[in-house]
Structure 1
Amino acid sequence: MASWLPETLFETVGQGPAPSKDYYQLLVTRCQIIFRWWKISLRSEYRAAKPGETKESHEDFLENSHLQVQVALIFGARILDYVLNLCQGKYDFLERLSDSLLLSIISYLDLEDIARLSQTSHRFAKLCVCDQLWEQIVQSACDTITSDMRALAEDIGWKQMFFTNKLQLQRQLRKRKQKRESLRRQHQP
C-alpha cells in the first residue's frame, strides 16, 4: 500500500518563534526528512549567512532528539507527532483521498455523522459545508429538482435549501417567480 504514496509525503513552511524572523521548511519524502532554514536578520553578523539544509533518513530522524525539538519549536507538537508517525510507516490514507471522492463518501452519511465529521479537521469542516456535498444530499432527498429550485439554491446555498422547510421553500420559489415575471413585464414594449 505504501507504493500508492507520492514521493513527497508532507511539506510545510514556517517562521521561527519570536523574535526570530528566520524561515524554515520541513519536507518528508518516502525515505528521508529534509529540514531547511534561511536566516533573516538585520544584524551584521548574520547578513552573510547562507541557507542551510539537513537531510536524515526516517530511522535517523527518529533517533535525533535535537532535530525533533527544533521541529516542535518551529512547527508545533502536532506536526512533530505527524512526522514521527510518517517515519514509523503510519500513513493517513484517508487524508490523501481527493475532495471529490471524499464528498461522494460523505454524502452517504447521516446528518449527525456529517456534523461530527466536520469537527475532526479543517479539511473535513470545509468539505462538510460545501455546496457540492449539499447539492448531492438534496438531489438524493428530492425526486426532481426544477430549474427554479436550482436557481434558488445558487442564491441561498444548497445546505440552506436542505434545511428550509417545504412551506418556506415554496414561498421563496413563488417570490422568485413573481419577481422574474414583473421584471419581464417591465422590459416588454
Structure 2
Amino acid sequence: MASLLGEQLFQISGQGPPPPKDFFQLVIAKNEVIWRSWKISLRFDSRGTPPKELRTSHQDFLHQKMLQQQLGAVFGQRILEYTISLCQGKFDYLERLPDEIMLQIMSYLQLKETTLLAQVSHRFRKLCNSERFWEHSVRNRCAGFTSDMEGVANAMGWRKTFFTLFHTSSSKWQQ
C-alpha cells in the first residue's frame, strides 16, 4: 500500500486572513511538512521581501503548536486536522487510488451508492459525473455490448445511454 503514496501527500495554497493578506502554501510530503509564506504589501519597506520557507519533519510538526495555530488560522480547522492525521501516518488510501482503478470499482455500485459517493469529496464528485464513469457503468451492465452500441453511446453520451438502457431497472437502485 505504501507504493500508492506519492512523494507529495497533500498541497494547498491561498491567501491568509486580513488584514495582512499574505499568501501561504502548505505541502505535506512523505517525510516533511513545508510551510511557505509570501508577504503581500504595498509598503515601501516590504518590497523585495523574499518568501519564507519552513521545513520540518512530521514528528516535529506535531509538537509545533505555533505553526499549527498559524496553519489553522490560514486554512481552517479541517485542513489542520487533516495535516495532523497525515503527520501521524493516517493515510486515506482510497483517495490515492488511480482514477482508472476507482472508475472500475465505482462502475459496480448501484445508482444510489454512486450518488452518496459523489458527496464524499470533490474528486469523487468529478469522477461520478465523468463520461468515463458512465462508460464503465454501461459496459459492466450490458453483457452483449456491441461496436454499434458504442458508436451510439459516443454520439449520444454515455450518461444518457446509461439512463436510456437501464431506465426501467434504475428505479430499483433508488430504493
Question: Is residue 145 of structure 1 aligned with residue 146 of structure 2?
Answer: yes
Question: 1:58, 1:83 → 2: CA distance?
Answer: 9
Look up the match of 1:18.
18
Matches within 5 A, 1:69-88: 69-88=69-88
C-alpha distance in structure 2 between counterparts of 1:87 and 1:75, whole Å: 17
Label 1:49 to 1:105 Cα distance change in 2 as closer, same or farther (>3 A).
same
**CA distance 1:166–1:6, shift in 2 (3 Å):** closer
Name the CA distance, whole Å, in 2 between partners of 1:114 and 1:71.
33
Q: 2:46 aligns to what?
A: 46
Distance 1:35 1:165 in 2: 51
How many residues are matched?
A: 166
Segments of structure 1 that go 5 or more residues without pairing to the other structure are 168-189
TM-score under structure 2 length normalisation: 0.84
Q: Which has the higher contact order (CA 8 A, sep 6+)?
A: 2
Deviation at 1:5, TM superposition (A): 2.4
Contact 2:107 2:136 in 1 (8 A): yes
Identity across the alignment (%): 47
1:18 shift after superposition: 3.0
- TM-score, normalising length: structure 1: 0.78
RMSD: 2.1
Amino acid at match of 1:108: Y
- Larger Rg computed on CA atoms: 1
Describe the shift of the 1:17–1:56 C-alpha distance in structure 2 as closer, same or farther (beyond 3 A).
same
CA distance, structure 2, for counterparts of residue 2 and residue 152 of structure 1: 41
How far residue 42 of structure 1 moved from its aligned partner, in angstroms, is 0.3
SS of the residue corresponding to residue 82 of structure 2 reads helix
